[in-house]
């Protein structure tokens, strides 16, 4: 650990600037995975063990990839913004670690959640460390050739998106305490809870790479739509997926009585009888697995699962449209197909 008497004089060990390799998706994914494995590898003790457990093996790496592709899409060099991309994944994983405490979820990415493995108190600390690491990653861009003015602009964006994430999590807690079957608060909540970090990734990637304001705004809009679409898909999977494909408990939403989009759509379109059935089932005393199965059938019959899938697809279409102001590039194309898993009609 650092000697704090000379804390200021010693630069953070960071990534060194290097010549960019071909920025194909496989390379980006490989480099991100390597850097994530390296990131907490030399940290001793419990904190290192927890952060490694949370970060590796890696998840889908959507946020770092989006950050890198956004940088490339505005003509930037991906290796310069790599530390920020790693930071974006740290920030996201921090939110998962803390969410799993809040939702009392024991399974994450197919293995015990941090709170399950190390206890609640320690998981709080691990999540905090990963939030600080988000900003440490941003600061490391000082050493990869990113001008200071871009870093401070990205700092402002990322800090606000982080605060928005907390607003969304807090709103989710409020909504679970005083359930609402209105669409508006739900959409605002997921925009804050999920889309905010997508916006942070895309906008900061573009800003760090020197993108002009129009392109940064287009990528922020893209991110907002695609983040919303992924959250809707997630809400859908809670009723159509299984623990194996999700890597987390499929009964979490039912267990926590979460009023998610398929529930709202069925509730809004249904008769008074259907609405009563939905409420009784969602908030009932039965085992979460029983409630989930019953809800899945109700939602399917009501056409809410199809409507939900269509709403996700519509957001993906809007995301793609937002990209049109960007110059044509391989990265723009890849950003455009980023939402393909949502479009796929497997619900």
Residues 77-116 within binding reach of its own copies (CB under 8 A) = 94-95, 98, 101-102
Does 121 help bind its own copies (rule: CB under 8 A)?
Answer: yes
Of the candidate spans 8-16, 26-34, 234-242, 261-269, the one that interacts with its own copies by CB under 8 A turns out to be 8-16
The helix (H) or strand (E) run that includes residue 262 is helix 261-269
Does 117 help bind its own copies (rule: CB under 8 A)?
Answer: no
Does 255 help bind its own copies (rule: CB under 8 A)?
Answer: no
Site for its own copies in 32-51 (CB under 8 A): 43, 45-47, 50
Smallest distance from its own copies to CB 85, Å: 16
Of the candidate spans 2-10, 61-69, 286-294, 299-307, the one that interacts with its own copies by CB under 8 A turns out to be 2-10
* Ordered alpha helix ranges (H), 40-147: 45-55, 62-73, 78-102, 114-118, 120-140
Of the candidate spans 23-31, 210-218, 237-245, 297-305, the one that interacts with its own copies by CB under 8 A turns out to be 210-218
For its own copies, which residue of 66, 196, 229, 294 counts as binding (CB under 8 A)? 196
- Give 55 or 294: the residue with its C-beta nearer to its own copies: 55
Does 212 help bind its own copies (rule: CB under 8 A)?
Answer: no
Site string for its own copies, 220-249 (x = CB under 8 A): xx--x-------------------------
C-alpha distances out from residue 157 to 18, 32, 169, 217, 283, Å: 26, 22, 18, 12, 38
C-alpha–C-alpha distance, residues 141 and 265, integer Å = 44
Smallest distance from its own copies to CB 280, Å: 25
DSSP readout, 220-243? HHHHHHHHHHHHHHHHHHHHH--H
Smallest distance from its own copies to CB 316, Å: 16
- Give 134 or 278: the residue with its C-beta nearer to its own copies: 134
- Give 20 or 153: the residue with its C-beta nearer to its own copies: 153
Q: How many other β-carbons are positioned within 10 Å of the β-carbon of residue 177?
A: 8
Q: From 49, 66, 57, 65, select the one nearest 109 (Cα to Cα).
A: 57
- Give 223 or 266: the residue with its C-beta nearer to its own copies: 223
Question: What's the CA angle centered on 159, arms 158 and 163, to 5 degrees?
Answer: 115
For its own copies, which residue of 69, 164, 235, 250 counts as binding (CB under 8 A)? 164
C-alpha–C-alpha distance, residues 183 and 187, integer Å = 6
C-alpha–C-alpha distance, residues 4 and 306, integer Å = 57
C-alpha–C-alpha distance, residues 123 and 344, integer Å = 35
Does 272 help bind its own copies (rule: CB under 8 A)?
Answer: no
Residue where the block lists tokens 């922020």: 220
């Amino acid at each position: 650990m650092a000697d704090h008497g000379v804390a200021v004089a010693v630069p953070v060990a960071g990534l060194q600037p290097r010549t960019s390799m071909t920025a194909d998706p496989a390379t980006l994914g490989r480099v991100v995975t390597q850097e994530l494995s390296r990131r907490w590898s030399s940290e001793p003790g419990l904190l290192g063990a927890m952060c490694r457990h949370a970060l590796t093996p890696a998840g889908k790496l959507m946020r770092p990839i989006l950050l890198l592709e956004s940088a490339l899409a505005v003509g930037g060099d991906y290796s310069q913004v790599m530390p920020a991309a790693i930071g974006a994944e740290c920030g996201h994983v921090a939110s998962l670690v803390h969410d799993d405490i809040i939702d009392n979820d024991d399974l994450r990415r197919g293995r015990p959640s941090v709170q399950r493995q190390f206890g609640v108190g320690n998981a709080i600390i691990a999540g905090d460390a990963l939030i600080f690491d988000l900003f440490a990653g941003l600061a490391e861009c000082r050493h990869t050739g990113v001008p200071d003015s871009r870093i401070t602009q990205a700092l402002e964006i990322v800090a606000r998106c982080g605060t928005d994430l907390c607003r969304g999590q807090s709103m989710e807690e409020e909504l679970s305490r005083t359930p609402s079957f209105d669409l508006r608060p739900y959409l605002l909540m997921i925009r804050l809870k999920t889309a905010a970090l997508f916006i942070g990734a895309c906008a900061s990637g573009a800003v760090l790479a020197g993108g002009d304001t129009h392109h940064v705004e287009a990528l922020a809009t893209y991110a907002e739509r695609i983040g919303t679409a992924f959250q809707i898909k997630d809400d859908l999977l809670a009723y159509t997926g299984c623990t194996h494909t999700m890597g987390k408990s499929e009964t979490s939403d039912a267990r926590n009585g979460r009023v998610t989009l398929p529930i709202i759509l069925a509730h809004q379109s249904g008769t008074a009888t259907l609405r009563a059935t939905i409420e009784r089932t969602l908030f009932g005393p039965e085992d979460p697995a029983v409630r989930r199965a019953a809800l899945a059938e109700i939602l399917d019959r009501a056409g809410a699962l199809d409507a939900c899938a269509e709403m996700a697809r519509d957001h993906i279409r809007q995301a793609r449209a937002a990209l049109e102001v960007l110059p044509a590039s391989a990265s723009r194309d890849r950003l455009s197909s980023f939402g393909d898993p949502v479009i796929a009609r497997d619900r």
